[in-house]
Amino acid sequence: MIFTRKKFVKYTIQDLRKDFPDNESCLKYLFKLFYGHIPDFDKYYLIKGRKEFVHSITGEHISPLANTIFHKSSTDLTNWFEAIYKFANSRNGVSAMELMRDFGVTYKTAWRMAKQIRTLFEDSPAIGGEDKTVEIDEMYIGGSESNKHQSKKTGNLATQGKTTVIGAVERENKVITRVIDDTTSSNIKPFIRGKVDIKSRVITDEYKGYKDLKYQGYSHRTINHSQGEYVNGSIHTNTIEGFWSLVKNGIAGTYRMVSPKYLQTYLNEFTFRYNHQHSKSHLFDFILNNRIKNNLVF
């Protein structure tokens, strides 16, 4: 199987279907992936009609689906593999309606598949460092734009019907995002201190929630959007704003509307693809090897 992302070699959906034409081929692949290192691996065989392998001498049973998103699912593994492939290759996400149509399953099943696959995408690396530039910005998802207004009581942006998100991106590297309660400094600063290296050069807009960053030890520069300033040499937040556009367009075009309860998982999906866009292996392979194999979410 070739999962390379080199310039002239691609792993297509046709390749996927050739490599995994049935549930048995999927099970054997997962078993080798997860348990290929154990003694007497070659003495295990797949029990016909079941999703377990048994040792030919000791009778020991092993299920390669245990502790994975496939556990106790009656959906064909070929559908699961193809759904993961779709998520790995999509730019704007994959809706439950799309999975329902493609696989002929119920909407409930399709929604559960999508929800389970998104649990694999949590990606929250620390970013920044010496000689690194990190852009930080917040955005609001959901509700009507007219519901966003300045609060007379606090001076912060009140966001009735909206969910507040903060993000930070290291230029030419990775992005992190987090759903927060509001844009007060008590929510913004812990996020920054926890994820952005203190040696970083930090760039934000002039919002007052960021004003004390220099006293926290960061080299802090601002761009004054309220005065129509968007670029001042290397001082700008265009990178994080570009990522926000990707997220907003994906949600609006693919998902239409996202519940605040699950918004972080959707953000994780977009963040994951952004952070691994230059991976040398195909993201389908990366997900199987680094997220499912290592049980990072269970």
What's residue 150's pLDDT?
Answer: 45
Q: What's the total number of domains in the chain?
A: 2
**Domain enclosing residue 236, as ranges:** 133-259
287 and 221 share a domain? no
What's residue 2's pLDDT?
Answer: 53
Residue 97: pLDDT over 90: yes
What's residue 146's pLDDT?
Answer: 52
20 and 95 share a domain? yes
Report the pLDDT averaged over residues 125-142. 93
What's residue 143's pLDDT?
Answer: 64
In this structure, is residue 298 part of a structural domain?
no
Q: Which residues contact 53 (CB under 8 A, 6 or more apart)?
A: 31, 35, 44, 45, 46, 47, 61, 62, 63, 64
141 and 180 share a domain? yes
175 and 88 share a domain? no
151 and 255 share a domain? yes
pLDDT level of residue 3 (50, 70, 90 thresholds): low
In this structure, is residue 268 part of a structural domain?
no
Residue 295: pLDDT over 70: no
Report the pLDDT averaged over residues 185-202. 93
In this structure, is residue 178 part of a structural domain?
yes
112 and 221 share a domain? no
* Average pLDDT score over the chain: 87
Closest C-alpha among 137, 142, 160, 165 to residue 150 = 160
284 and 170 share a domain? no
pTM for this one?
0.84
Alpha carbon distance 266, 263 (integer Å)? 5
Residue 215 neighbours by CB distance under 10 Å: 8
Residue 277: pLDDT over 90: no
105 and 150 share a domain? no
Report the pLDDT averaged over residues 232-258. 91
pLDDT level of residue 161 (50, 70, 90 thresholds): confident
Domain of residue 195, CATH code: 3.30.420.10
In this structure, is residue 3 part of a structural domain?
no
pLDDT level of residue 158 (50, 70, 90 thresholds): very low
Question: pLDDT tens, 26-54?
Answer: 999 999 999 999 999 999 999 999 999 99
Question: pLDDT tens, 42-91?
Answer: 999 999 999 999 999 999 999 999 989 999 899 999 999 999 999 998 98
Residue 294 neighbours by CB distance under 10 Å: 10
What's residue 9's pLDDT?
Answer: 60
235 and 284 share a domain? no
